Amino acid sequence: MERHIFALQLSHLLGESFSREWVYAQIEIPKQETHGDLAFPCFSLAKHFRKNPKDIAEEISLSIKHDVFDSVSATGGFVNVMLNKKFITSHTLKQLLSEPGEFGTHSFGEGKKVVLDLSAPNIAKPFSMGHLRSTVIGNAVANLAEKCGYEPVKINYIGDYGTQFGKLLAAYQRWGNSSLIKENPLHELKKIYVKFHQEAEKNPDLIEEGRQWFKRLEHQDEEAVELWTWFKDVSLIEFNKVYQLLGVAFDLTRGEAYYNDKMEATIELLKENKLLEHSEGAEVVRLDEEGLPPCLIRKSDGTTIYATRDLTAAIDRYQTYAFDESLYVVGHEQTLHFQQIVHVLKKLNFEWADRIQHIPFGMMLKDGKKMSTRKGKTILLEEVLKEAIDKARENIEEKNPQLENKDETARQVGVGAVIFHDLKHDRRNDVEFSLDEMLTFEGHTAPYLQYSYVRAKSLLEKGGFTSSSAAAEIDDPEAWSLIKTIRAYPEKIKMAYETYDPSTIAKHLLDLARSFNQYYAKTNIVNSHNKNEKLTLVYAFSLVLKDGLQVLGIEAPEKM
């Protein structure tokens, strides 16, 4: 509210040359609280007004007035605003406590549907740390969409088709052991898949053998389909164990193979629109005008490629959901692929092609290198989750052995640590896998946030606080930093969704917990004369922190 008021007054004073949107984007929060709560830099105005930024700031500061502002001053080319603490505090608490579940929500997505393609592990391979990013980023973006009024539809588009499965079938025929696979499915399937690539370096004929098995699968050969179905079924059982641990659920789980008998219609559509061309025996759609390489639709041996399936899937999703946004939460190495998909759909005159967005993210690295199943260099997510849970349980046994529900709390803390370690990073950056850093229960971690929540709940319990006894107003100068951080939460939700970056919320929650713990350290809360006011603030903090953790897909234990 106060930013909008400030921007409105500024844009009115500056004239038509500076839009309210531009002015709003320039408003900053000073690094030092003594400089103000909001600041507008005047340096970019100097050329237009042919004046010193300092003089411009001084002129503007004399004309800015509103009940929400306590004072306005000019310092070194900035217009600095001190907010009316009493007004802002009262307004924030009224907004939050009247409807706690609505704080942070927005309505700009109402009546709109957003489809998210996330997680998408490949069958017959263990669920590795490499797939964690798509899963937790996509899940958090879906939660953010819901906070903004959208109806999110989460699709787990399982990788169950392609030439790699021909290689796996060939590997099974040579080295597969059905008893061992039944006993430990994904471990054994991964083992023979890695062996296939090792042997293929010595015997290149194996690659052709894999191609032939994939052709058999495409042509619905009974043996190939039976083996492939078995591999798929056991894989989904193992994947679901990981999803249960992560607390992630999907609205639809569908494999690429679902589109096997539907791709011909897409290819015919490309032919009808005279988009399909022959190139060295293969069929492609040229994208020369778009400055992109051709999009391969069918290989020279007649087999399709994942671009064909993705085009078919995109058409099917629009027909099914009539989405307003379609988000593909997939690593940045697939950027070119999604550029090609969107441009081919545009050439087919689908007006909704512009609603498709690739949400890229950096890789999960190990020792600075990409993890690879083919080379056997993977770290299994389920093992990491279990180790994190075990570490959390050890901490509980050491610090609070009398705690009830120790196993459940250990799960909440351990899983939360793994999720937050990923989401605290800007999604576009690579993340170096570090079990030690992930499982540190101090600093910029989920356990730090969860412990801050538990501390707040303990204070409320000791003070005998109930939501019905919340104070309508708080007059506590020491609480100002915390109030401002609570108040910023709705804006951070909006920003996080608009940039599709959950790290905005992760970082804000760290700021929120830091403000709370500083307030706790210097304030006597339970034994103060205005205990109820202080506990109301603690209660407000706990509501926002818990909501933010839920947005990230992390649980908040009541005790630790």
All structural domains of the chain: 2-83 (3.30.1360.70)
Query: Tens of pLDDT along 271-309?
Result: 999 999 999 899 999 999 999 999 999 988 887 888 999
Q: Where are the alpha helices (DSSP H) in 219-353?
A: 222-246, 263-272, 306-321, 335-347
Residue 441 has pLDDT above 80, yes or no: no
What is the rounded average pLDDT of the residues 304-319?
94
Determine what percent of the chain is predicted with pLDDT higher than 70.
Answer: 98
Closest CA to 539 of 63, 58, 100, 180: 100
Sheet bearing 356-359, strands edge to edge: 252-255, 151-158, 113-117, 325-329, 356-359
Cβ–Cβ < 8 Å for 192, 172: yes
Q: Any idea which of 230-234, 369-373, 398-402, 514-518 has the lowest mean pLDDT?
A: 369-373
Tell me, what amino acid is at 460? L
Q: How far is CA 364 from the centre of its chain?
A: 14
Quote the radius of gyration of the chain (alpha carbons, Å). 28
pLDDT of residue 31: 86
When pLDDT is averaged across residues 33-43 and rounded to a whole number, the result is: 93
pLDDT tens for each residue of 358-370:
999 999 887 777 7
**Residue 155 near residue 250, CB atoms below 8 Å:** yes
Judge whether residue 259 has pLDDT over 90: yes
For range 129-154, the mean pLDDT: 96
What is the pLDDT averaged over residues 184-208? 92
Q: What percent of the chain has pLDDT over 90?
A: 82
Element (H, E) at 114: strand 113-117
Residue 188 in this model has a pLDDT that exceeds 70:
yes
Q: Which residue has the higher pLDDT, 482 or 126?
A: 482
How would residue 377 be classed by pLDDT, with cut points 50, 70 and 90?
Answer: low
Whether the per-residue pLDDT at 1 is higher than 90: the answer is no
Q: Nearest CA to 490 among 61, 36, 107? A: 107
What per-residue confidence (pLDDT) applies to 371? 66
Rounded Cα gap, residues 327 and 118, in angstroms? 9
Cα–Cα distance between 45 and 41 in angstroms, integer? 9
Look up tokens 């570490």; give the residue: 391
The structure tokens listed for 10 are 């500024």
What does pTM read for this prediction?
Answer: 0.92
Tokens for 422? 């990923």
Q: Which DSSP letter does residue 360 get?
A: -
What residues are paired with 71 via a beta bridge?
Answer: 82
Q: Which of 144-158, 191-205, 486-500, 542-556 has the lowest mean pLDDT?
A: 191-205
The confidence score (pLDDT) of residue 128 equals 82
Tokens of 359: 């949400």
- Closest by Cα among 556, 554, 553, 555 to 154: 553
User: Is the pLDDT score of 262 beyond 90?
Assistant: yes
Find all residues with CB under 8 Å of 151, minimum gap 6, and list them: 112, 113, 114
Residue 460 token pair: 């409320």
E strand or H helix that includes residue 83: strand 78-83
Confidence bin at 493 (pLDDT 50/70/90)? very high
Quote the mean pLDDT of the chain. Answer: 93
Report how far residue 412's alpha carbon sits from residue 424's, in angstroms, rounded to the nearest whole number. 17
